[in-house]
């Protein structure tokens, strides 16, 4: 592993907009800057894949790269369950797994994305934009050699899992008849009172059993490893109800049957 600090890729353009963005918005603004920096400073790197932090892999991502083939950029669609479709506000594609190859097509995309994120990258819907994500909506038309992932095992998430059959075949986790490659644990929260909020979407018992319980175990194992060197580590936990808005949102989810909270062992 090669660690790259924030200060290494922060250029004058990024630093100029930093005071105008929240921490989260600045992370989104920085997304295209990281692969751009790596291509320019690590010449031996031929391709780069950005992966969200709240993703866990259940099988090899090689089928994704096989599908990409000789194209240059790969993006992953949300594939919303119809009742949860937020394409108009959150975008057709999810910045969760994005691949760039070292060629002129990828560099054109990265340069354009960098410029747009510098101009505007905020956690609100405005003029057809939202953060760094809505910019991906027209990449297939705007640029050459961009591919939208068709493999449904790449990008299973709480907003689309309702339309699939999640089951085990031997040791393999399946979404319908396809191997699950990775799951995006959007909305997952660890609370200070030992409760765990899985998601603000309706989840079936098989999803909880085969997708969320292994993730909880992996997080607990990781936390135990970190505490061996940092005993006071507690990052990532939040209060269950920080304000009135949180409480009202929780009540709304209970009424809709989408309050997926379990007790931690």
What pLDDT digit, counting tens, does each position of 128-182 carry? 999 999 999 999 999 999 999 999 999 999 999 999 999 999 999 999 999 999 9
CA 239 to chain centre: 23
In a domain, 206, yes or no: yes
Number of domains in the chain: 2
- CA atoms within 13 Å, Cβ hemisphere of 176: 11
Q: Do residue 144 and residue 196 come from a single domain?
A: no
134 with 95: CB under 8 angstroms? no
pTM of the model: 0.92
The pLDDT of residue 263 is above 90: no
Average pLDDT over residues 74-99: 98
One domain for residues 260 and 201: yes
Could you tell me if residue 213 is inside a domain? yes
Query: Same domain, yes or no, for 16 and 141?
Result: yes
Cα–Cα dist 43/180, whole Å: 33
Question: What angle do helix axes 23-30 and 104-119 make, rounded to 10 degrees?
Answer: 160
Collect contacts of 6-15 with beta carbons under 8 A, ≥24 apart.
6/30, 8/37, 9/33, 9/34, 9/37, 13/118, 14/118
Residues 195 and 259 in one domain: yes
CA dihedral of residues 115, 118, 124, 130 (deg, nearest 10): 20
**Are 145 and 205 members of one domain?**
no
Instruction: Tell me the average pLDDT across 23-46.
Output: 96
Residue 169 belongs to a domain: no
Task: Determine, yes or no, domain membership for 139.
Answer: yes
The tokens describing 20, both together, are: 């105008």
- Shared domain for 102 and 208, answered yes or no, is no
Q: Quick check: is 102 in a domain?
A: yes
Q: Is residue 80 domain-resident? A: no
Task: Give the structural domain span for 111.
Answer: 6-50+87-149
Residue finishing a domain among 95, 127, 149: 149
Domain boundary, last residue among 133, 149, 165? 149
* Cβ-count burial 123-148 (b if 16+ within 10 Å, e if not): eeeeeebbbbbbbbbebeeebebbbe
Same domain (yes/no): 20, 105: yes
Which DSSP helix (H) or strand (E) runs through 238? strand 237-238
Residue 241 lies in a domain: yes
210 and 263 in a common domain:
yes
Domain end, chosen from 130, 149, 168, is at 149
């Amino acid at each position: 592993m090669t660690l790259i600090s924030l200060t290494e890729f922060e250029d004058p353009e990024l630093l100029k907009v930093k005071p105008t963005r929240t921490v989260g918005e600045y992370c989104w603004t920085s997304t295209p800057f990281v692969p751009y920096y790596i291509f320019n400073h690590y010449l031996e790197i031929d391709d780069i894949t950005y992966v969200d932090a709240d993703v866990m892999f259940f099988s090899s991502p090689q089928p994704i790269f096989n599908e990409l083939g000789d194209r240059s950029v790969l993006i992953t669609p949300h594939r919303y369950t119809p009742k949860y479709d937020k394409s108009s506000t959150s975008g057709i594609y999810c910045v969760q797994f994005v691949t760039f190859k070292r060629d002129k097509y990828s560099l054109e995309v990265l340069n354009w994305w960098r410029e747009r994120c510098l101009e505007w990258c905020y956690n609100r819907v405005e003029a057809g934009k939202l953060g760094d994500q809505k910019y991906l909506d027209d990449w297939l038309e705007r640029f050459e050699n961009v591919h939208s992932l068709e493999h449904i095992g790449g990008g299973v998430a709480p907003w689309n899992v309702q339309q699939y059959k999640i089951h085990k075949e031997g040791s393999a986790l399946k979404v319908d008849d396809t191997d699950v490659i990775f799951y995006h644990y959007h909305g997952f929260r660890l609370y200070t009172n030992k409760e765990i909020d899985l998601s603000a979407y309706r989840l079936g018992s098989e999803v909880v059993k085969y997708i969320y319980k292994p993730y909880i175990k992996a997080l607990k194992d990781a936390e135990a490893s970190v505490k061996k060197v940092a005993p006071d580590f507690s990052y990532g936990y939040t209060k269950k109800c920080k304000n009135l808005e949180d409480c009202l949102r929780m009540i709304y989810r209970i009424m809709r049957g989408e309050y997926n909270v379990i007790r931690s062992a």
